[in-house]
Every structure is written in C-alpha cells, then in structure tokens.
C-alpha cells in the first residue's frame, strides 16, 4: 500500500499484526495506577469504540495489558509502518492545500528526531501529546485527506470529533486540549482523565501541531542568556551558565549558550536523550562525573572557551559540587519539566534513572517524597551560590512553585513572592513581550533547505529595512534579531521540518509574512506555514511565566488567551488551538495558538495582515492596561499606525495620594 493510500484508509478494517515494543526508542515512563476496576472497564470501552465490534474480543485483552503495563492505552498495534517525518506537502493526499499543510505539521511533531516519546505520541515535556492513541492519529489524518475548504475538523483533546460544514474563510481545524471544568484541574484529575482516554495535556505547541524541535526555544533562550549577562554587566565569554534538562524544549539550552558565547553546563539524567542531543550537535561534550566536570569547567574558564557540556547525572549534584569546589556560577536556572513533577518531569538526586522510573510507577508516594527532598536540596545549594553573586532566574518551568510546595527556602521576605524573579519578570516581559516582540515561526512545507535559506534572506532584508526607522526603544531587539537570522544557517538549527523562528513585533511579522506571500506568488518558494510559540505576547495567560510581569492583580485571569484564539479564528487563521496546561502545568495556565498557510494568494495577504496585527496587539493592550510602561509606548505606536485601533489606556495614579 502506498503512503497516500495508508493515510486515506484511516483505521484499517483488517487489523495489522501486533507490534513488538521497541526498546531502542525513548519511551514515556509508566503512568501511576489511578483507575478503579470500574474505571478500567470504562477506559477499555472508550478505547474500543474506535473499532468495529468484530475486533473487540481480540483487542480487549491487548488494551487491558497496555493499561496495566503502561498506565495508558496507546494502541501500539496501529502505529504506522511508514517513516514518520514532515514530507513535502505535495506527497500528502487531499483536496485542501491547507489540510495537507496541517498533515505536514502533525507528522513533524511525531518525527523521531523531534518527538520526546514518539511511540506514545508525546512531543515534549514528558506528557505534551499530539494524540492520546494511534487510532486518533489515523482517523485525523484520514479526515484531513478528505477535507474540503468548506469544512472544519474539530479536535477534542486528540480525538477528531468530525468534519463539519463551514466556509473557506473559517479555520480548517479547531483544537482544544484539556479544557476541563476549573475545579477538576488538579494533576491527579489529568492522570485519571488521560487514563480514561477523555482528555490530554497538549503542552503548548505539541497539541497544536506547531512544534519545530528545540530550535523553537533556542532563540528565546539565546536572548534570555544574552540579556541575563547584560543585566549583571558581564560579557558571556569565559563565564558560566548552569541549568538542567535536555528533553524537548530544554534541549535548546546548550545550543543557545554556544550562540550567546558562554560556557554552559546542562545536567540530564536520561542517557538516551543526552546521546540524541550530542549526536544532533546541540551539545559539544558529555561528562559523567562531577570530578571530571570540575576539571573541564575550570579549564574552559581559564581559556575563555565557548563550549556546552552535558553532565549525565542529577543537577543537584552539580550545584552542591560547584559550591564545595568554589566554582563561580554567573547565571543559573533550571528547565526540567516541573509542570509534571510526579511522572518523569523531575528526577530525585541519589537514585538511578532506572530506580526512579520503577519507584514512580510502583511507589508514587515515596517518589513524591524523594522529589520534594531533592527540590529542597537544590534550592539550598542555589541559595548558597546566589549569596556568592550568582544571578538565578526561574525559567517558567514551575521550579520555584514546586520548590515552595516542597517547603524549600525560596520565598521572599513578604512570604508571598518568590525570592528569585521569573525570567519573564526580569528579562523577556519588559524587554520583549511588552514591546510586542515574540517567537514568530515559519515552516517551508516544500521540505527544501533552499526554500528556508531564501526565507532567511527575505526576513533579514525586511528587518534591516525596518531597523532604519525603528524607535530607539526597540533598536536592541531589532539588532539582536538581525544578528540571529543572519547566523541561523551556520548554527544548524533545523531538526525535523525546514523551519525557522525569530522574535518580531506585529509590524515585523506582517511585513515578513507579506514578503513570503509575494515570493510564493512569484514561484520563488513553496507554500509556507506561519505560527508562533504559545510563549508569546498575547496567546498565554500564565501567572508564573508569560504574564508574571502583570502587577494589577489580573495575573490569574485568562481572558487574554481566550480572546486571542477567538479573534484569530475569525481573522483568518488556518487552525487555532486552546489548551489548559502548558510549560508550567495542568491547571496553572491557559494558552492559545494558531497556524496560518500562505499560498501566494491575495486572500492570504488579507488574512495575514488582519490576524497577525490582532494576535500581537491583543496582548500589548492587556499589558498596557496593567500599566506596563513599555506596553503603553507600544500600543500608542500601534494606534498611530492603524487608525481603526482604539485601545483604552490607563490613567496613572500619583503614589503621593496614598
């Protein structure tokens, strides 16, 4: 059967043979036992409803075994035999170019080079899923292959509810993930609903089909590290950045450190993912003992090297060892998946990776105790380093939040705020998001590296032209991004699809996108998909990350994210998504995203101008209303550019009145 025929058949009427569990693949850890006997029966009924009754007797035992062994029903038997990667768009079957582009993006999310746990359909973050099981994948791809531009596919937490009549200007796909009633957003609620097969955690860009591998966060991390060193008035050269995590998003950190020009030490407990990142060139060296690490870092400091070192082990050992050996850490952070602390997002010190996985599944209460003990030790060691002058920032991964819940000494004197700022509070919020700068992405669906190179050149030319007349307030952002895009090719950032990211404001995004659309119309490049990380100006309400620099008391509201996705959907997005959960955890954030297909048409030009302007300025207006000076500047500037924009501005109260 050809690839196109396999896509078009959906769930096969004749079941494929049972597949062997592939031990060479990086698999998700076993999820904890949480369902009652009656609920397990319900989970099996829920899984079997994808199949004709004639298959139920054969599948019920198999699915029951999966549930007992892995804590989930993944339907491994249905995993396709074809290679999973983002094919050139012309290779997909279908009646809609937009639908083919979405298939391209879905397959990229599940590419073995991109996905953290590809056989469990998890892209990154330990539990950031594209689908809950392989039946959902097959059915979704079949629907997309049948879809016309007069239909919309609705996705309920990985489940394709169906194709519904709509119109050509409507989104082709509307995605929701984990949108549960607020009082049922505790971590165990997710565990239960996911085990039942009725909800999933879409992370930020996993469940919205917009993940582009670690590159997606390299740029933001590079800017964060650069500005972190600027904040403490140090040149990155010869100075040390210590962090942890080499998984999906965190895997970008060593590459970002190299681009910024510092020494990076990144700890990771998983040998498979460490090996993968080394093979991909995202880290330079692997070290397996703290003694060896101390020698290597001392040498790198003496020689002022630009080098990234992966420590295969627990980051707590690094913090404690460097304190004992008096190794000066200039910048410190953590990017383990602490939104998911009890199911593989963070591993306790003093226990092997294998022992921890076993304890996680078979003795979850003891595992939780060990994680919290480890967090207390890590925070204690960090406090010793900051007393010596280390600048530590929370990377929005819920490190300080979970450390505080573990009883670690991370609270400020008022016992309300954390003693260390979020990187958004100190760096990304006032320097980028408030001005409208955020992670704009594009994907060349032709799969041709030369198309990506052409788009890099186009984007660079647009930014250089804009920089000539940009106000002084945003010149640093403009120059950082021009430098980034010019070095993109030599830094070999592509993993998976031919994609790129750069930080741009609304004006930059619109002009770059329009230049792409014109190039497509002239036949110079193929179809482009536009998108962004949810970690942006407008799409995400996250009180400990994206909106942590909102100080008017509205940090815990989610109007902005909901307004964002609704506004994008009727202004021309090809698909939209809204998720409960993201980088900081289930129940802790609401975030929305979009994808937009550029095909060189006049209609695409109209859509991109309308939607991208809203997508950014919705967030700037909210940040302006919170009295953020940079956002007030940015929204006033936007109103001058677009006379139809009229935003309510805050009146500032004289503090002396109090």
> Beta 263-268 vs 590-598: how paired, if at all?
unpaired
Number of other residues whose CB lies within 10 A of the CB of residue 312: 19
- Is 126 annotated in some ligand binding site? yes
- Residue 441 phi/psi, 5-degree rounding, is -130, 155
Task: Identify each DSSP E strand in 195-334 by its residue range.
Answer: 240-244, 263-268, 285-287, 307-312, 331-332
Who contacts 173 (Cβ-Cβ below 8 Å, separation ≥6)? 102, 144, 152, 153, 154, 155, 574, 575, 576
Cβ atoms of residues 286 and 274 within 8 Å: yes
**18, two tokens:** 């049972």
3-state class of 63 per DSSP? helix
Surface-to-core class of residue 114, CB atoms within 10 Å of its CB (0-12 exposed, 13-18 middle, 19+ buried):
buried
3-state class of 164 per DSSP? strand
* Beta-bridge mates of residue 422: 394
- Is 373 annotated in some ligand binding site? no
CA 256 to each of CA 124, 218, 413, 426: distance values in angstroms, whole numbers, following the listed order: 18, 5, 33, 19
> Beta 331-332 vs 391-392: how paired, if at all?
parallel
Helices (H), 325-448: 353-362, 364-387, 399-405, 423, 429-431
Give the CA radius of gyration of the chain. Answer: 24
- Is 125 annotated in some ligand binding site? yes
Q: How far apart, in whole angstroms, are the C-alpha atoms of residue 197 and residue 532?
A: 28
- Is 143 annotated in some ligand binding site? no
Q: Which residue in this structure is represented by tokens 């003694």?
A: 291
Q: Residues annotated in the binding site for NAD(+), as ranges?
A: 125-126, 203, 268, 395, 583
Q: Residues annotated in the binding site, as ranges?
A: 125-126, 203, 268, 395, 583
């Amino acid at each position: 059967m050809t690839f196109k025929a396999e896509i078009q058949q959906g769930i096969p009427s004749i079941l494929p043979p049972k597949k062997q569990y592939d031990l060479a693949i990086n698999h998700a850890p076993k999820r904890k036992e949480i369902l009652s006997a009656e609920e397990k029966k319900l989970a099996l009924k829920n899984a079997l409803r994808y199949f004709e009754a004639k298959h139920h007797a054969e599948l019920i035992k198999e699915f029951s075994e999966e549930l007992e062994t892995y804590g989930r029903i993944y339907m491994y038997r249905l995993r396709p035999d074809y290679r999973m990667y983002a094919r050139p768009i012309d290779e997909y079957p279908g009646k809609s170019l937009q639908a083919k582009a979405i298939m391209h993006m879905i397959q990229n999310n599940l590419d073995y080079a991109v996905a953290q746990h590809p056989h469990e359909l998890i892209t990154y973050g330990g539990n950031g899923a594209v689908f809950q099981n392989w039946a959902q994948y097959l059915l979704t791809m079949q629907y997309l292959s049948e879809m016309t531009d007069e239909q919309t596919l609705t996705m309920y937490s990985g489940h394709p509810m169906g194709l519904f009549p709509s119109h050509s200007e409507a989104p082709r796909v509307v995605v929701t993930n984990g949108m549960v009633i607020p009082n049922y957003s505790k971590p165990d609620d997710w565990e239960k609903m996911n085990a039942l097969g009725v909800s999933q955690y879409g992370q930020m860009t996993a469940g919205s089909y917009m993940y582009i591998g670690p590159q997606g966060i390299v740029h933001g991390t590079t800017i964060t590290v650069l500005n972190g060193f600027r904040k403490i008035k140090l040149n990155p050269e010869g100075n040390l950045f210590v962090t942890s995590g080499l998984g999906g998003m965190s895997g970008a950190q060593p590459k970002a450190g190299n681009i910024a020009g510092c020494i990076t030490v990144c700890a990771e407990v998983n040998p498979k993912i460490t090996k993968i990142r080394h093979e991909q060139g995202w880290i330079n060296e692997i070290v397996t003992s703290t003694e060896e690490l101390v020698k290597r870092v001392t040498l790198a400091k003496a020689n002022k090297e630009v080098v990234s070192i992966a420590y295969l082990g627990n980051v707590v050992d690094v913090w404690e060892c460097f304190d004992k050996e008096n190794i000066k850490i200039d910048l410190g952070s953590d990017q383990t998946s602490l939104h998911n602390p009890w199911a593989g997002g963070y591993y306790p010190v003093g226990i092997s990776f294998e022992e921890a996985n076993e304890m996680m599944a078979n003795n979850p209460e003891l595992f939780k105790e060990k994680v919290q003990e480890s967090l207390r030790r890590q925070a204690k060691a960090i406090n010793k380093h900051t007393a010596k002058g280390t600048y530590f920032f929370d990377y929005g991964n819920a490190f300080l939040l979970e450390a505080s819940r573990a009883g670690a000494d991370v609270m400020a004197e008022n016992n309300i705020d954390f003693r260390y700022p979020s990187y958004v509070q100190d760096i990304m919020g006032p320097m980028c998001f408030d001005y409208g700068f955020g992670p704009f992405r594009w994907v060349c669906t032709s799969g041709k590296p030369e198309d990506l190179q052409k788009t890099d050149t186009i984007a660079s030319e647009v930014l250089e032209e804009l920089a000539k007349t940009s106000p002084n307030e945003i010149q640093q952002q403009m120059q950082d991004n021009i430098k980034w895009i010019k070095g993109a090719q030599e830094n070999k950032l592509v993993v998976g699809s031919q994609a790129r990211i750069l930080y741009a404001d609304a004006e930059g995004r619109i002009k770059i996108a329009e230049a792409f659309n014109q190039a497509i119309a002239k036949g110079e490049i193929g179809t482009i998909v536009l998108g962004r990380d949810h970690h942006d100006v407008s799409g995400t309400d996250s009180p400990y990350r994206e909106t942590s620099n909102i100080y008017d008391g509205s940090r815990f509201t989610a109007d902005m994210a909901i307004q964002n996705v609704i506004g994008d959907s009727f202004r021309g997005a090809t698909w939209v998504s809204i998720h409960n959960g993201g980088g900081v955890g289930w129940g802790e954030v609401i975030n929305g995203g979009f994808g937009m297909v550029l095909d060189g048409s006049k209609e695409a030009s109209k859509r991109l101008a309308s939607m991208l302007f809203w997508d950014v300025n919705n967030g700037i207006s909210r940040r302006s209303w919170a009295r953020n000076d940079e956002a007030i500047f940015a929204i006033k500037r936007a109103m001058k550019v677009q006379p139809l924009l009229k935003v309510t501005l805050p009146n500032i109260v004289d503090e002396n009145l109090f």
